[in-house]
């Protein structure tokens, strides 16, 4: 199973299920789709329709189901006296997006907590032992890997709600160098250029020149003494 095949399939599924699909890992997906049954009572639209929410793909906890139902009830109460089913469905869709975002955030917090516990465990194991450059480099490498995974998940979650064009622009923006990176890269290039254009200095030339000056001074002093005689 190649990463290229997985990436292509994920892109296809994401286009079919833009709201229901969440990538929770390199080899894990989560789909959430619900069925909303609406029964119009005789008092409608002066009364909220009877609503029944049933998961079709994925699962809803009792708490999650109650949250979704409460959001539609609140929206319905604000729309009494008017046709409201479209508003209720829109509210449900928005609540589902919020629910998916909360699930993603919870997973990221759990992953960050796992990293924190691992760091504490490592610190406890090495407490009292001097930290060497090698041990710190190994820990930093593990930390950077976990951090990169978290950032990748955040980017994937952001792109999930984007259109294909927006996702492409987002990927390009992530690939561009930041202003600071460009600045630092420019400084390095300037320093290299300055080193290449510099001229070498032969110190021996100055030594020979100084010696010649001393000889000339000695000769001049000798001439002065002979004239006085």
Using one digit for the tens of pLDDT, what is the confidence trace for 40-58? 888 988 999 999 998 887 7
Residue 182 lies in a domain: no
Strand 21-25 with 50-57, pairing = unpaired
Considering the domain boundaries, does residue 220 fall inside one?
no
Range of the domain at 20: 3-176
Decide if 124 is inside a domain.
yes
How far, in Å, CA of 179 to CA of 185, rounded?
Answer: 10
In a domain, 37, yes or no: yes
Residue 151, in any domain of the structure: yes
Instruction: Report the predicted TM-score, pTM, of the whole model to 2 decimal places.
Output: 0.44
- Into how many domains does the chain fold? 1
Residue 202 covered by a domain: no
Angle at the Cα of 57 from the Cα atoms of 29 and 23, rounded to 5 degrees: 15
What CATH number does residue 161 fall under?
3.10.110
Q: Is 229 a member of any domain?
A: no
pLDDT-based confidence at residue 224 (cuts at 50, 70, 90): very low
- pLDDT of 195 strictly over 90: no
Please report the pLDDT score of residue 177 as a whole number: 54
């Amino acid at each position: 199973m190649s990463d290229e095949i997985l990436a292509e399939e994920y892109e296809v599924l994401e286009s079919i299920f833009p709201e229901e699909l969440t990538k929770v890992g390199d080899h894990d997906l989560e789909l959430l789709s619900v069925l909303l049954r609406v029964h119009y009572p005789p008092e409608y639209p002066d009364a909220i329709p009877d609503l029944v929410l049933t998961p079709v793909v994925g699962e809803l906890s009792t708490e999650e189901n109650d949250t979704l139902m409460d959001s539609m009830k609140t929206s319905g109460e604000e729309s009494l006296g008017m046709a409201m089913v479209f508003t209720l469905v829109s509210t449900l869709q928005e609540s589902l997006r919020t629910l998916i975002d909360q699930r993603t955030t919870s997973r990221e917090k759990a992953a960050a907590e796992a990293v924190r516990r691992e760091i504490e465990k490592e610190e406890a194991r090495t407490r009292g032992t001097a930290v060497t450059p090698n041990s710190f480099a190994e820990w930093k490498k593990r930390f950077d890997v976990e951090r990169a995974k978290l950032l990748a998940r955040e980017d994937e979650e952001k792109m999930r709600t984007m259109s294909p064009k927006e996702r492409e622009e987002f990927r390009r923006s992530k690939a561009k160098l930041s202003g600071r990176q460009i600045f630092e890269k420019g400084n390095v290039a300037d320093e290299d250029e300055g080193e290449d254009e510099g001229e070498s200095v032969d110190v021996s030339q100055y030594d020979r020149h100084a010696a010649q000056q001393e000889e000339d001074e000695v000769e001049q002093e000798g001439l002065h003494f002979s004239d006085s005689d």
